[in-house]
Structure 1
C-alpha cells in the first residue's frame, strides 16, 4: 500500500552510497523536502530531470530541499559509473542516495521511477506522484506547500 498523505517522512537511511551528502542538512526539520526516486535506465527520469533541477534552484530560497534517490530497476542500473555520468550530465548538485538494496524505496513504500514525495515543514507527506503525468502536477503542489499560491 502506498504511503498515505500526512504520513511522517521516513528517515533517509539505508543507502549503499551517497553523492553530495555534504549538501544534506543534518536537520531537515523546518525544511520542505522533495524526495525524487529515479534510475539511469528510466527515459522519463531523463526527460524531467532538467525541469526538476530548475525547480530545485527556483524554490531553494523558499526552503525546498531536494533529495535524489537512485532506485535501480535492473541489474545494469547498479553501475555507479552510469549514475555518476548522469549526475555530471544534468548538473545534479543536491544529495543523491544510491538505493541498490531498495531499503529507502521500501521505507517510502515506493516501487516507481520517477516518483516524487513532497513533505511539508512538519515532515508530513503533502503530495506524492509518479511518472510523467504525475510530474506535470508537481510544480503547482510545490508552490502550494511553500505558500506561494492559494490552495
Structure 2
C-alpha cells in the first residue's frame, strides 16, 4: 500500500529553508561565537536527510545532482590547500592570514583564510554524513 506523505512533503519544503538559513548563520557566526564549519555542515546535512526522508531518493537526486562522496573529498582538499598555503609563504601549517577591506555601504569587513578552512570542513562534514546515511538506507 502506498502511503500519502503530502503533509510531510509540504512541511519539509518550508523547514529545509529554515534549516539552510540556520546553517548559514552558524557558519558565519563561528568566528565570534560557538559555531562554524562543523556545526553548519551538520545542519546542512540534516536538511538533506530530511529531504531524503520526505521524498524518494530519485527525486532528491534529480533536484540536487551532487555526488556527496566527491563533495566530501573537495572539502578535505579545501582544508589541505588552506593549510599548505601558509607553508608556501614560510608560515607554520594552518596559520591564518586576514585582511580588512572596505566595501561600499557595509564598511570595513575582515576577510580571513579561516573562512576557506571552515568551508572545507563544512563540505567534508556534509559529504561524509550524507554518504553514511545513504549507505545505511541502501542496506534497509
TM-score, shorter chain, exceeding 0.5: no
The TM-score, its normalising length taken from structure 1, stands at 0.24
* Structure showing greater relative contact order (alpha-carbon pairs closer than 8 Å, 6 or more residues apart): 1
Pair member with larger Rg: 2
Task: Pick the structure with more helix per residue.
Answer: 2
The TM-score, its normalising length taken from structure 2, stands at 0.25
